[in-house]
A and B are shown apart, each in its own frame.
Chain A
Amino acid sequence: MCAPPGDVDYSTLTDQEVVARAREGREAAYRELIGRYERPVFSLIYRLVRNREQAEDLAQETFIKVLNALDRYDPAYKFSSWIFKIAHNTALDHVRKKAPAMLSLDGSPHASDGEEAGATAFTVVADDETPEEYTASREIGRALEHAIAQLRPEYRTAILLWHVEGRAYEEIAEIMHVPLGTVKTYIHRARHELRARLAHLRPETPAAPEA
């Protein structure tokens, strides 16, 4: 039995095909695009801003920007790159506005003593507001989320796009609008920072052979 005209199975279409149908005014196509990207986009933003309510607002803002500008989308490029780029910029703008509270992990560089440094140090917001709550209750998962939260936002975006979203270095460079080498540096440094922050979970490592 043939499907009635207009009854399209959107799940079988590429992003570009769905966008083409959205441009024709089909609400189902808009919903398909939202369905495909709401979790990746929300997750990226959530891990950048560390607050669920703000992340919902920023994810919503991202989708509204994207869907209202479908006419400007060039199908020669990946739709995912475009939406992640807008999500990254939207979240980063928000994070930068909040910069005074998030600039330093160890306290203000201008602090004159330890007490002042402690008072200005970055702290992850309350447990009931963080992604840890939604992560499987494994210690490594919580520790990893906490360690990611302490990375620079640029490192966070790069490493999340590579490891969680499976994006290639080239696509991440396009999304973040930085050179390819910079992306590699971001990811490399982020991994090393994460390893250092997760060192307390490390099992006993054999000592390096002496020279």
Chain B
Amino acid sequence: MTESLLHPTSELLEAYVEGSLQDSERVVLESHLLSCSYCQAEVEEWKALFAGLAALPHFEPGPDFADRVLAGVRLRQPWTVRVAELLRRLVPKTTVGWALVAACVALPFLVFGGVMAWLFTWPSVTPQGLWLYARERLTDALLSLVGQAGAAVLESEVARRVVQWGRTWVATVDPSTVGAGLALFATLTLVSAWVLYQNLFRTPARERRYVSYSF
């Protein structure tokens, strides 16, 4: 066998410089290198290439790179900030908006008050009589609703207790509490409608948190 046939391949020398040879292969190759100037030169060449590549510098983008990136990123806010932002968005931003909210809040009271005032202009209508009538109607409606839920359910112990509690509540509740509850319900309904209107028709399509970026 001639000496040249014993030369390791270029791939083997590359793997040697890369450090991916098995120990046994590396020992054999290193013993060959001791006596072969050609392969030594080949290894040096690989080493020079590896060193040159490893020494390639990193390049730096422009100084405002991070700011430009963040301008295009939708920052995820903590939940506290998101809730605060939601509440802030509920607050009207114009005089007209405030006027509309005030009108929405006042409207149920005005309507309720107006109806009551109109009813009490009748001599036969008294507050006590009106309350008794309303309570009876409310009880009937409640029982009717529960009845529609099914006789079987009604016969259960839980349902019996619920009905009993409902009867007790209706019999003892203060009329002003019912009125306040209805007013609150009406108010919440109107405020919800206002929020819906704000989001559907008055909110810009692109939220302020989604900031577009430009170069």
Cβ–Cβ contact B75 & A30, under 8 A: yes
Complex contacts, A31 vs chain B, CB 8 Å:
66, 70
Closest Cβ of chain A to B211, distance in Å, is 11
Q: How many angstroms between the C-alpha atoms of A146 and B61 in the bound complex?
A: 20
Q: Give the nearest-CB partner of A71 in chain B.
A: B76
Complex contacts, A136 vs chain B, CB 8 Å:
55, 57
Which of A74-82, A106-114, A119-127, A199-207 touches B?
Answer: A199-207
Q: How many angstroms between the C-alpha atoms of A84 and B4 in the bound complex?
A: 43
Q: How many angstroms between the C-alpha atoms of A55 and B81 in the bound complex?
A: 35
How many pairs, one residue from A and one from B, have CB atoms within 8 Å of each other in the complex?
A: 125
Closest Cβ of chain A to B138, distance in Å, is 48
Q: How many angstroms between the C-alpha atoms of A34 and B85 in the bound complex?
A: 27
Cβ–Cβ contact B61 & A42, under 8 A: yes
**CB within 8 Å for A56 and B65 given contacts A25-B77, A27-B70, A207-B38:** yes
Complex contacts, A209 vs chain B, CB 8 Å:
2-4, 7, 36, 38
Q: Which of A24, A67, A159 has the most chain B CB atoms inside 10 A of its CB? A: A67
**CB within 8 Å for A43 and B58 given contacts A67-B69, A144-B53, A211-B4:** yes
Decide if B62 is an interface residue (CB 8 Å cutoff).
Answer: yes
Which of B23-31, B44-52, B112-120, B188-196 touches A?
Answer: B44-52
Closest Cβ of chain B to A137, distance in Å, is 12
Cβ–Cβ contact B56 & A63, under 8 A: no
Q: How many angstroms between the C-alpha atoms of A46 and B60 in the bound complex?
A: 10
**CB within 8 Å for A60 and B73 given contacts A141-B55, A163-B53, A211-B5:** no
Cβ–Cβ contact A206 & B65, under 8 A: no
Q: B3, B38, B45, B68: which contacts A195 (Cβ < 8 A)? A: B45
Complex contacts, A25 vs chain B, CB 8 Å:
75-78, 81
Complex contacts, B61 vs chain A, CB 8 Å:
38-39, 42, 55-56, 59-60
Q: A59, A63, A206: which contacts B41 (Cβ < 8 A)? A: A206
Cβ–Cβ contact A135 & B78, under 8 A: no
CB<8 Å pairs between A and B, sample of 21: A27-B70, A34-B66, A38-B65, A39-B58, A39-B60, A40-B58, A56-B62, A59-B61, A60-B69, A60-B72, A64-B213, A67-B73, A131-B59, A134-B57, A134-B59, A136-B55, A136-B57, A144-B56, A191-B14, A206-B37, A208-B38
| Residues of chain B at the chain A interface (Cβ within 8 Å) | 2-5, 7, 10-11, 14, 36-38, 41-42, 45-46, 48-50, 52-62, 65-66, 68-70, 72-78, 81, 213, 215
